[in-house]
Amino acid sequence: MDDSARYCIGIHVAAPDPLAVRQKAVAAMAAHHFGLFSDELVDEAEPDDDSYGLICSGPTRAGWVSLYVTDWQDSGVIAQYLSHALSTAVLEIWVAEDTLWGYNYFECGEVRDRFASDPVGVAESPAEATRLYGDPGVLRGILKTSPDVLESILRHSQANAGGLAAGPVGRASDTLGLNFNHVYTSYEAFFDDDPEDYSPGLENWAQFRHLTFRHPQGKESISG
């Protein structure tokens, strides 16, 4: 998928403690030689083109902590690290061009399930497409409803691939107890949009934190 197309991506960690998640996120970055030099509240932060940024949410009623990174291509690496380090479930959810969406689901550091609303359209090969149909039964441990409910949402989304993603993403979020406003946003949105437009819908907005890291020499992101 073209880099510019995937504009909305978040890492959602099944953990009640944002501090523990932030500490492991810092460790994930350190493992790739990115050193932390700033940790401040988001509403006091300014983006810095010379640093790498990561935003971490506050706690939520359903026990999720959400993270957003400067470079979406690094998201899966960080999600997998957090899942292993915290021995928990992590769901990476993406949306592209308001029409395509999908997820990658990790348990204890292993990719357990993947989904895309248009598997053939986003996969790099037919073999990969077969792994993007999603199996809600695998997510049973984090679902707030029957897997059958999520199954219906996924199949309907694939049958109507190319339609607006907000509806199915919202319904899928409900089955997981995820706040839709935490899911349907991105790192850039926190700095490009007016906070008054989105902060009322975010849980514990006052506790969202912006972590910035120094780039190691010759490297702008984890993946490249």
Tokens of 116: 């895309």
The residue ranges of DSSP E strands in the chain, in sequence order, are 6-14, 35-41, 51-56, 64-69, 89-96, 100-107, 110-116, 209-214
* Cα separation, 133 vs 122, whole angstroms: 12
* Cα separation, 143 vs 134, whole angstroms: 14
pLDDT at residue 1 tops 70: no
- For residue 100, list its beta bridge partners: 96
Q: Report the share of the chain in percent with pLDDT over 90.
A: 83
| 176 C-beta neighbours (distance < 10 Å), count | 22
- For residue 34, list its beta bridge partners: none
pLDDT tens by residue, 81-102: 999 999 999 999 999 989 999 9
* Cα separation, 217 vs 131, whole angstroms: 36
Give me the pLDDT at residue 194, please.
82
pLDDT at residue 179 tops 60: yes
Place of tokens 């899966």: 76
Q: Report the share of the chain in percent with pLDDT over 70.
A: 97
In one letter, which amino acid is 13? V
What is the overall mean pLDDT for the chain? 93
pLDDT at residue 5 tops 70: no
| 183 C-beta neighbours (distance < 10 Å), count | 25
Angle at 133 between CA 130 and CA 138, to 5 degrees: 115
Contact call for residues 154 and 115 (beta carbons, < 8 A): yes
* Cα Dmax for the chain: 49
Confidence class of residue 19 from pLDDT cuts 50, 70 and 90? very high
pLDDT at residue 151 tops 80: yes
pLDDT tens by residue, 107-146: 999 999 999 999 999 999 999 999 999 999 999 999 999 9
- For residue 121, list its beta bridge partners: none
**4 or 208: which leads in pLDDT:** 208
pLDDT at residue 65 tops 60: yes
* Cα separation, 134 vs 150, whole angstroms: 10
pLDDT tens by residue, 201-218: 999 999 999 999 999 988
* Cα separation, 173 vs 149, whole angstroms: 11
